[in-house]
Amino acid sequence: MARKYEITIGIECHVQLKTKTKLFSEVDNDARGKEPNSCVSPVDYALPGMLPRLNGEAVRLAIRAGAAMNAKINPDSRFDRKHYFYPDSPKGYQITQFYHPIIGEGFVELPSGKKIRIEHAHLEGDAGKLTHFDTYSLVDLNRVDTPLLEIVSMPDISSPEEARDYCKELWRNMVYAGVTNGDLYNGNMRFDVNISLKKPEDTKLGTRAEIKNLNSFRSIERAAAYEYERQSKLLDKGEKVIQETRGWSDATGVTTGQRSKEEAQDYRYMPEPDLPPLSLTQDFIKAEYDKCPALPADYRARFTKVITEDTLEVLLDYPELVNRLAEIADGGQPVDYIANLFASVLLAEENQSLLNDNLPSANQLTELAAMKSKNELSSTSAKEVFIKLFEPKHCDKTPLELAKELNLVQENDSGALEAIVDAVLAKPETAKAQADYKAGQEKVLGFLVGQVMKESHGKANPSAVSEILKKKLK
């Protein structure tokens, strides 16, 4: 359905870099499961005389992130102070890069082929966390100065669905590049979505509202769709959209106003006096840039002719599975059968708990596919062996060893199969079915195949049995 107003969306994404220590101190950067305020140093508190020290690994990961966004890396960048007060920000300012960011222009290409331009990306330290109760709030500073890369897109996104696709592809790129753990639930990536509306004939963008801290692709799409409807109703009534920060509730499906949106001058940016400018050589930039591994776009180009688009898009959410397929392909083996097992069996709701550190090796999966192609395993048996390979007690066994233990190896020897078929055809209870088949009732062949399978205790190859029966019942 055509929209009365054109929607324009720009997105700011905060990516937590997976460094061992914080951006400006040697404190543990992983506070999961730790007591509140236990991963904090005097540098994070900004106590008098405490000086920040830039984490070199964060710089390396930022360059790799730039490579994953086809972006220019600026050899000269610097840090600035962004002044504001929140209870979870003990410094009273944030160290960020406002004037001279480390990453310049780039783009992210969506599966559709559309390119969303990146304006820039900059390093900065995160704030803490507030937990609100009925009559009070508690402050946890463990997250203070966690290294963040803030990625700012151009307003190139023109629908809620496209906003979802951009965020998902950006998330994939950052995870594949090894920049972040990508745990959305724990806030490893958070998205601020800026939305404005205008009439098609207008040349100037409308007033934007910013929806803060979205951490799921579904929420991004839903929040953008709701905000379109909210702003449309205001414009239809001749009212103005207020430039503000809004929050989103998954439970109610509604955005609510939080505060008016500050302009840059309200933050009183100034050069950070305690950190020198960052100067990188071209050799250093190239060395780190080249460390960026294969990205989703590379796997699409590699597998698009052998794996269906729908299956591949599902698997791209699981880098460990796609990397395993790449290992199989590197060994010169086909990947389509294993890709289908990953998508239809492993990722089925009842089996997702199997996706752990016990991922079968490329050799195990290749052997399983070979057994299936040689009819040594039926489709059902191959799936059973596949699932067993993920169990710790079976992870060191070959598919053949497992299949033998489970008595699943199909009988393919023609002589042995003929003997079983002859035994079944000699039974009086199959005489009528034999006569019916010879009289043209071909559907009874299934009954006879079933009798042979029963006689062989399920080990006979049904296709081979069917062919033998056809020959004998001419």
How far is the C-alpha of 474 from the C-alpha of 136, rounded, in Å?
Answer: 86
d(CA 409, CA 401): 10
Cα distance between residue 162 and residue 108, in whole Å: 12
What is the C-alpha to C-alpha distance for residues 128 and 146, in angstroms, rounded to an integer?
9
- Averaged pLDDT, 257-272: 79
pLDDT recorded at residue 327: 96
pLDDT at position 412: 63
> pLDDT band at residue 430, thresholds of 50, 70 and 90?
confident
Q: What is the mean pLDDT of residues 106-121?
A: 97
Residues 382 and 468 in one domain: no
One domain, residues 375 and 233: no
**320 plus 257 within the same structural domain:** no
- Shared domain check, 97 and 190: yes
d(CA 82, CA 79): 10
d(CA 369, CA 204): 58
Mean of per-residue pLDDT scores for the chain: 91
Q: Which of 281, 262, 275 is nearest to 125 (CA)?
A: 275
Percentage of the chain with pLDDT > 70? 97
* Within-domain flag for 321: yes
Question: Which of 222-226, 313-317, 373-377, 433-437 has the least mean pLDDT?
Answer: 433-437
- In the prediction, which pLDDT does 121 show? 98
Query: What six digits make up the tokens of 151?
Result: 């990625």
Rg, the chain, Cα only? 30
pLDDT band, residue 157 (cuts 50/70/90): very high
Report pLDDT for 2: 64
Residue 212 or 437, more confident: 212
In a domain, 323, yes or no: yes
Q: Does any domain span residue 397?
A: yes
Number of independent structural domains in the chain: 3
Q: Which of 259-263, 323-327, 431-435 has the lowest mean pLDDT?
A: 259-263
Tokens representing 30? 């992983």
- If asked whether residues 308 and 401 sit together in one domain, one would say yes
pLDDT 10s digits, 343-357: 999 999 888 888 887
Coil, strand, or helix at residue 153?
strand
Q: Is 88 helix (H, G, I), strand (E, B) or coil?
A: coil
The angle subtended at Cα 329 by Cα 179 and Cα 463, nearest 5°, is 135
Mean pLDDT on 3-31 = 95
Query: 277-281 long-range CB contacts below 8 Å, 24 or more apart?
Result: 277/76, 277/77, 277/78, 277/100, 278/54, 278/59, 278/76, 278/77, 278/78, 278/79, 278/102, 279/75, 279/76, 280/59, 280/63, 280/73, 280/75, 280/76, 281/75
- Same domain, yes or no, for 329 and 367? yes
| CATH code for position 419 | 1.10.10.410
Q: Which of 166, 63, 153 is nearest to 105 (CA)?
A: 153
Decide if pLDDT at 413 tops 60: no
Q: What is d(CA 462, CA 450) in angstroms, rounded to the nearest whole number? A: 8
Distance CA 66, CA 466 (A): 58
Asked whether residue 261 carries a pLDDT value surpassing 70, the answer given is no
pLDDT band at 416 (very low <50, low <70, confident <90, very high): low
Band (1; pLDDT cuts 50, 70, 90): low
> For residue range 64-109, what is the model confidence (pLDDT) as tens digits?
999 999 999 999 999 999 998 888 888 899 999 999 999 999 999 9
Same domain flag for 27 and 73: yes
CA distances from 359 to 294, 324, 373, 392, 415 (A): 20, 9, 22, 10, 38
Note the pLDDT of residue 362: 96
**Is pLDDT above 90 for 393?**
no
In a domain, 73, yes or no: yes
Residue 209 and residue 109 share a domain: yes
Could you say which of 360, 388, 405 is where a domain stops?
405
Residue 458 lies in a domain: yes
Q: Within a domain: residue 1?
A: no
> Which of the given ranges, 99-103, 239-243, 418-422, has the highest pLDDT on average?
99-103
Final residue of a structural domain among 383, 405, 427: 405
pLDDT of residue 442: 79
Between the alpha carbon of residue 177 and those of residues 102, 107, 206, the distances in Å are: 17, 15, 35
What is the pLDDT, as a whole number, of residue 409?
81
Residue at which a domain ends, from 358, 383, 405: 405
Q: How confident is the model at residue 119 (pLDDT cuts 50, 70, 90)?
A: very high
Lowest model confidence (mean pLDDT) among 105-114, 173-182, 327-336, 410-419: 410-419
128 and 53 in a common domain: yes
More confident residue, 40 or 418: 40
**The pLDDT value given to residue 124:** 97
Question: What is the per-residue pLDDT for 21?
Answer: 97
Residues 132/126, Cβ–Cβ less than 8 Å: no
Give the side-chain half-sphere CA count within 13 A for 167. 29
Mean pLDDT over 161-184 rounds to 97
Considering only 147-156, 174-183, 331-340, 402-411, which range has the smallest mean pLDDT? Answer: 402-411
> What range defines the domain where residue 304 resides?
294-405
Phi, psi of 238, deg, nearest 5: 80, 15
What's CA 47's distance to the chain center, in Å?
Answer: 39
Same domain, 456 and 394: no
Q: Could you tell me if residue 122 is inside a domain? A: yes
pLDDT in tens, 272-283: 999 999 999 999
Whether residue 400 is contained in a domain is answered as yes
Give the model's pLDDT for residue 330.
Answer: 95
Same domain, 266 and 169: yes
Residues 267, 298, single domain; the answer is no
